[in-house]
Amino acid sequence: MHAMTYALEGLGTAPIPPAVQHRPDLAVKAAPPVRAGESPDAQLKLDGVSLSFGGVTALDNVDLAVSRGEIRAIIGPNGAGKSSLINVISGVYRPDRGRVLIGGDSYAQVPTDRLARLGIVRTFQNLALFKGLSVLDNVVAGRAYTVRSTFLGQIARIGTARREEADARERARRILAFLNLEDVADRLAGTLPYGLQKRVELARALVAEPDVLLLDEPMAGMTATEKKEMAGFVRATRGAHGTTVVLIEHDIGVVMELSDRIAVLDYGRKIADGTPEEVRTDQKVIDAYLGVVPENEDGAGI
């Protein structure tokens, strides 16, 4: 059997048990209907996006349409352009050509300072928690981008600011319960095992109640068990809140199990886009991964 076919099939078959039960009582807002798959009303779109760094083409005329409520993975070999694509969506980079459409609005460069208000929140590949703050305070901090009071406004409207603070803590506690993190709410974030810290990052992103959640390698460095738990929480998030999820992830097995659709990049070009089954059997995808050492379930090369 072809090396990559084997890798894709072998890693893609293990079912991921749901890590959490659906808890409607913990939902922070009503879930819109989930419509996975092609949809004319894409919530997020890239239209002919190209980006280069000097002579290096990172993205080459990439189109992408992400439907409301779908879990969409972006995969590809190292250097394929995955991070560049997330950075274009989150406004870190301005593409040389093309547009990003969020809801009905089109941007030459997405305004990073208004990202949360546009309904988009991202996590980062490397942990970016305040290690000396409690888990609860870290999650409350995730609300900071969405509250209305500015610093001066807070002085002028101390009452409003206090209400917003109380509201943020209440929402943070609900999210912690949703992600089974209640028991560690008062622990210093830096003292938690790595897998739990990654889950706290997810909590901090969710407290902003994003319409679109961008996850940059949410399972990097995790054990197989932690990956399965995280996949369960991502799925539960979509189930409870109707959140659209766009994720970059290197573990093909997890991606195949978790995603509704997968876009595959290679040398900056989108070479495939479809269901896990379509992508798994796509010859261009198999060829792109030729010679790449697949990761085993613990993230190490095999």
Ligand X SMILES: Nc1ncnc2c1ncn2[C@@H]1O[C@H](COP(=O)(O)OP(=O)(O)OP(=O)(O)O)[C@@H](O)[C@H]1O
- Which region, judged by CB under 6 A, interacts with ligand X, from 14-22, 73-81, 106-114, 237-245? 73-81
- Output 8 or 196, the one with its CB closest to ligand X: 8
The single residue among 43, 84, 90, 149 that binds ligand X, judged by CB under 6 A, is 84
76 binds ligand X (CB under 6 A): yes
Smallest distance, ligand X to C-beta of residue 132, A: 29
The single residue among 68, 72, 82, 235 that binds ligand X, judged by CB under 6 A, is 82
CA nearest neighbour of 80 among 281, 248, 302: 248
- Encoded tokens for 246: 């766009």
In terms of Cβ atoms closer than 10 Å to its own Cβ (0-12, 13-18, 19+), residue 150 is exposed
- Output 83 or 223, the one with its CB closest to ligand X: 83
- Output 206 or 288, the one with its CB closest to ligand X: 288
The single residue among 10, 79, 98, 221 that binds ligand X, judged by CB under 6 A, is 79
The single residue among 53, 113, 126, 301 that binds ligand X, judged by CB under 6 A, is 53
Give 193-200's long-range contacts (Cβ < 8 A, gap of 24+): 194/127, 194/221, 194/222, 194/226, 195/222, 195/223, 195/226, 195/229, 195/230, 197/127, 197/129, 198/127, 198/222, 198/226, 198/230, 199/229, 199/230, 199/233, 200/129, 200/135, 200/138, 200/139
Task: Collapse the DSSP code of 218 into the 3-class scheme (helix H, G, I; strand E, B; otherwise coil) and give the result.
Answer: coil
Smallest distance, ligand X to C-beta of residue 300, A: 16
56 binds ligand X (CB under 6 A): yes
Residues 137 and 130: their CA atoms lie apart, in Å, by: 9
Cβ–Cβ under 8 Å, residues 243 and 211: yes
Smallest distance, ligand X to C-beta of residue 282, A: 18
Smallest distance, ligand X to C-beta of residue 56, A: 5
CA distances from residue 6 to 14, 62, 64, 155 in whole angstroms, order as listed? 14, 28, 28, 61
Cβ–Cβ under 8 Å, residues 206 and 213: yes
- The interface mask with ligand X, positions 234-263, x = CB under 6 A, is ------------------------------
- Output 4 or 207, the one with its CB closest to ligand X: 4
**Which one-letter amino acid corresponds to residue 23?**
R
Residues 241 and 106: their CA atoms lie apart, in Å, by: 25
126 binds ligand X (CB under 6 A): no
Smallest distance, ligand X to C-beta of residue 258, A: 18
Smallest distance, ligand X to C-beta of residue 49, A: 12
Residues that bind ligand X (CB under 6 A): 53, 56, 58, 76, 78-84
